[in-house]
């Protein structure tokens, strides 16, 4: 009872952890996929903070950003549906194993102020990120260790479809956002926002004090200047950066400052207060800007000139790079200098275009979908383009999830309707043919105990007597067998009522007789009056190197001596997780039994014992047990025909107890159990036997 409660608690814990991880991985992967360039910039920030920028080719941060979002989103979805458990839990655990110490290091050294885990959607400090990762690491370790407890929502037949669709979906989605700007903008430069308002500070709030530092060069010497000591024009501008001098209330936009290149004047207020239209061509690094749509940009400039709109190119590049751009593209528009990070925040495209009026962002275009001559057909106030573009995030989310969830629901619907239904039908068909609880079948129901290396001779005798007494009063609906250590056999066999309890050994030698010190032959076992022998138990395979070939010899000797082998097969945890259980049991059957004649095979009792369930408290679910028992029977049908298969008893073994026996034995292909731990207590063993009396 207590064990059962622990078992349930573990199930609940693992599944809670799994949903927590799934939710966070899906969210984190999704927001990164919405803004792959944002993640790229964050990765570049890290590389630069660690002085590693030159170590990698320029395309790598973006590629890594897409891979990361795909990985996180897909792992989250797989965890959510409980499919590809081994891969998803291992990946989640590995990611957390790497990220947790890394974020501790970031929290301590603080090279970048926000980790970027959730893009701009949810900004955490480095310490918050570290503690979040500690929680996730515990959750990831729990699901990794307890992955067998994860409840799956999709059958094995359709899981590939869910995995494939998820990976494709998120890849297509992030590519779309790279090409067309993020479909949801989490930044303060969202369409419809007023830059002026974003910069304003509520009355009474103390503003942060920033200082812009300008890096200029003269005669090979580079120096930093502020606005106060800005030098004469013999110095060449190289770069600029904002330095936080005193932290105060930080408005959403705090570093929007346009310095006209030609005049050196700050024209921020003039531009933001202009009641006319202004086009801002944003190219944070002009030397890296894509010039493939340069004709459209030049046309846009000509258009703005024609209608008297302002047009500025904002960049943080050096003057000589601006000159190169001018030469290469014929750019005639004026340039303004601005902070690099601000420019990257304004628009996720290099270059990209922003249209503002009265300081309010009316529209934004990526380089790939700039307005062309067919759209720019008149003054802006007569065009749709000139009106405030309406962004409806709720609707966008509906569309995004609609594209993901609807096809997925279709798959799940098919899964439930077709796959599960046919599975259920098959089970019902089988159930109608043979009902194990009513014994309406040719094969026997058997409950066999395996005492293993437990009990002294005296204790064993006492246990056998107690069981004999416990079973004396009523009729059992199954055969009962106890398999004891060798030395107990001769004493136990005469004690028990042979009509009710069979006795068996736990092993026998693979040799008939002779100089094999310490071994006990099949004929010796038979001479004690025992009728059964367990062969191929996973403990003997694992600890005593019993191979299929050795077991084949043992089976033949057991049969030759009139013993009924209870032949054990079953996979280890890794094999189950790799979905190889069928292959494994088939190889075990074929390797030791399938050379037998049909007549000899009919004398064998099989015991399917998943190794991960033996003595561990973990039980295969009734569904898992039935699935593999049915498979085992189907291999016998193939090899020896239906009649032999229908007559073969296949027992289940692995943490079987009174509380789960009934459910396990109710399966049409489960014909009883091979019981380890619970066979050492008469109450428990009888409880299991009684599962057939219900």
Active site residue 609: yes
- Would the annotation count 450 as a binding residue? yes
CB of 436 to ligand PEP, least distance (A): 19
Kind of pairing between the strands at 672-675 and 277-282: unpaired
Of 664 and 678, the one with the shorter C-beta distance to ligand PEP is 678
d(CA 37, CA 43): 10
Beta carbons within 8 Å of 657's beta carbon, 6+ residues apart: 3, 619, 678, 684, 687, 688
198 is an annotated ligand-binding site residue: no
Site for ligand PEP, rule CB under 6 A? 450, 609, 614-615, 653-656, 674-678
Nearer to ligand PEP, 182 or 676 (CB): 676
Q: Closest CB to ligand PEP among 71 and 620?
A: 620
Q: How far is the CB of 677 from ligand PEP (least distance, A)?
A: 3
* Least spacing, CB of residue 654 vs ligand PEP, in Å: 5
Measured from the CB of residue 148, what is the shortest distance to ligand PEP in angstroms?
14
Report, in Å, the least distance between residue 5 CB and ligand PEP.
19
Distance (Å, rounded) from C-alpha 482 to C-alpha 135? 48
DSSP state of 440: B
615 labelled binding-site residue: yes
- Residue number with CB closer to ligand PEP (36 or 677): 677
CB nearer ligand PEP, residue 37 or residue 656 = 656
SS3 labels along 127-157: HHHHHHHHHHHHHHHHHHHCHHHCCCCCCCC
Pick the catalytic residue: 44, 537, 571, 629? 537
Q: Is the backbone of residue 179 left (phi > 0), alpha (psi -120 to 50) or beta?
A: alpha
Find out whether 403 is annotated in a ligand binding site: no
Nearer to ligand PEP, 479 or 609 (CB): 609
Q: Are 312 and 278 in contact (CB under 8 A)?
A: yes
Surface-to-core class of residue 286, CB atoms within 10 Å of its CB (0-12 exposed, 13-18 middle, 19+ buried)? buried
In the sheet that 277-282 helps form, which strands lie side by side, from edge to edge? 259-260, 335-337, 310-315, 277-282, 352-357, 360-366
451 has binding-site annotation: yes
Rg of the chain on CA atoms, in Å: 37
Whether the Cβ atoms of residue 452 and residue 676 lie closer than 8 Å to each other:
yes
Strand blocks (E) in 601-647? 605-608
DSSP character at residue 249 = B
Tell me how far apart the alpha carbons of residues 581 and 148 are, in angstroms, rounded to a whole number. Answer: 14
HSE at residue 660, side-chain half, CA atoms within 13 A, is 26
User: In whole angstroms, how close is the CB of 451 to ligand PEP at the nearest point?
Assistant: 10
The residue assigned the tokens 């076992």 is 525
Distance, in Å, from the CA atom of 85 to the CA atom of 88, rounded to the nearest integer, reads 5
Q: Find the DSSP H helices in 35-110.
A: 36-49, 60-81, 85-109
Contacts of 302 (CB under 8 A, 6+ apart): none
> Which of 251/654 has CB closer to ligand PEP?
654
CB atoms within 10 A of CB 34: 26
Q: Among residues 44, 546, 575, 609, which one is catalytic?
A: 609
* C-beta neighbour count of 621 within 10 angstroms: 13
Q: Which residue number is nearest to ligand PEP in terms of Cβ? A: 676
| Shortest spacing between CB 144 and ligand PEP, in angstroms | 23
Spatial neighbors of 59 by CB under 8 A, at least 6 apart, are none
Crossing angle (nearest 10°) for helices 581-592 and 622-640? 40
For ligand PEP, the closer CB: 20 or 607: 607
Report the nearest approach of ligand PEP to the CB of residue 508 (Å): 16
Nearest distance from residue 501's CB to ligand PEP, in Å?
18
Specify the residue, 251 or 676, whose C-beta has the smaller distance to ligand PEP. 676
Distances (CA, A) of 484 to 387, 469, 476, 487, 623: 88, 18, 21, 8, 30
| Binding site per annotation, positions | 450-452, 615, 655, 676-677
Q: List active site positions.
A: 537, 609
Annotated binding residues for substrate? 450-452, 615, 655, 676-677
């Amino acid at each position: 009872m207590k064990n059962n409660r622990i078992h349930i608690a573990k199930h609940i814990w693992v599944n809670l952890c799994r949903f927590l991880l799934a939710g966070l991985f899906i969210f984190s992967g999704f927001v990164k996929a919405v803004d792959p360039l944002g993640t790229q910039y964050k990765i570049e920030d890290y590389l630069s903070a660690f002085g590693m920028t030159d170590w990698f080719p320029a395309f790598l941060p973006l590629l890594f950003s897409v891979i990361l979002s795909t990985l996180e989103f897909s792992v989250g979805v797989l965890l959510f549906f409980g499919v590809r458990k081994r891969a998803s839990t291992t990946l989640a655990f590995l990611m957390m194993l790497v990220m947790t110490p890394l974020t501790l290091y970031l929290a301590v050294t603080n090279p970048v102020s926000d980790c970027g885990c959730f893009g701009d959607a949810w900004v955490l400090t480095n310490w918050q990120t570290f503690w979040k990762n500690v929680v996730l690491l515990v959750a990831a370790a729990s699901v990794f260790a307890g992955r067998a407890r994860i409840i799956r929502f999709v059958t094995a037949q359709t899981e590939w479809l869910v995995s494939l669709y998820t990976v494709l979906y998120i890849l297509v989605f992030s590519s779309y956002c790279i090409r067309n700007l993020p479909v949801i903008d989490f930044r303060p430069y969202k369409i419809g926002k007023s830059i002026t308002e974003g910069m304003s500070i509520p009355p009474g709030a103390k503003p942060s004090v920033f200082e812009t530092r300008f890096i200029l060069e003269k005669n090979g010497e580079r120096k930093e200047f502020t606005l106060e000591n800005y030098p004469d024009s013999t110095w060449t501008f190289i770069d600029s950066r904002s330095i936080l001098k005193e932290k105060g209330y930080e408005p959403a936009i705090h570093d929007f400052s346009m310095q006209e290149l030609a005049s050196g004047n700050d024209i921020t207020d003039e531009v933001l207060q202009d009641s006319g239209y202004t086009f801002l061509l944003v190219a944070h690094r002009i030397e890296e800007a894509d010039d493939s749509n340069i004709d459209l940009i030049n046309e846009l400039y000509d258009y703005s000139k024609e209608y008297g709109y302002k047009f500025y190119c904002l960049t943080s590049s050096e003057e000589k790079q601006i000159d190169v751009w001018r030469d290469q593209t014929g750019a005639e528009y004026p340039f303004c200098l601005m902070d690099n990070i601000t420019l990257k925040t304004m628009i996720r495209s290099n270059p990209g275009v922003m249209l503002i009026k009265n300081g309010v962002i009316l529209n934004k275009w990526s380089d790939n979908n700039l307005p062309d001559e067919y759209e720019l057909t008149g003054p802006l106030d007569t065009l749709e383009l000139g009106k405030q573009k309406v962004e409806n995030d709720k609707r966008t989310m509906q569309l995004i999830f609609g594209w993901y969830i609807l096809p997925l629901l279709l798959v799940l619907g098919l899964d439930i309707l077709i796959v599960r239904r046919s599975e259920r039908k098959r089970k019902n068909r089988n159930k109608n043919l043979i009902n194990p609880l009513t014994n309406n079948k040719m094969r026997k129901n058997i409950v066999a105990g395996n005492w293993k290396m437990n009990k002294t001779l005296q204790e064993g005798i006492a246990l056998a007597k107690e069981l004999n007494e416990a079973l004396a009063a009523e009729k059992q609906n199954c055969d009962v067998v106890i398999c004891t250590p060798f030395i107990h056999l001769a004493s136990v066999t005469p004690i028990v009522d042979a009509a009710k309890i069979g006795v068996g050994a736990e092993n026998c030698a693979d040799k008939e007789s002779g100089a094999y010190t310490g071994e006990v032959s099949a004929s010796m076992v038979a001479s004690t009056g025992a009728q059964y022998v367990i062969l191929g138990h996973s403990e003997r395979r694992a600890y005593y190197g019993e191979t299929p070939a050795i077991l084949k010899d043992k089976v033949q000797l057991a049969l030759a001596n009139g013993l009924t082998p209870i032949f054990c097969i079953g996979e280890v945890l890794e094999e189950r997780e790799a979905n190889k259980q069928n292959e494994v049991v088939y190889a075990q059957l074929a390797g030791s039994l399938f050379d037998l004649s049909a007549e000899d095979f009919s004398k064998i009792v099989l015991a399917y014992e998943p190794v991960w369930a033996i003595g561990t408290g973990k039980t295969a679910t009734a569904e898992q047990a039935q699935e593999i028992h049915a498979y085992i029977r189907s291999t016998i049908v193939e090899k020896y025909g239906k009649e032999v298969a229908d007559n073969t008893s296949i027992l289940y073994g692995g943490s079987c107890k009174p509380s789960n026996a009934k459910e396990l034995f109710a399966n049409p292909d489960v014909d009883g159990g091979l019981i380890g731990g619970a066979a050492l207590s008469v109450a428990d063993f009888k409880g299991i036997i009684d599962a057939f009396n219900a």
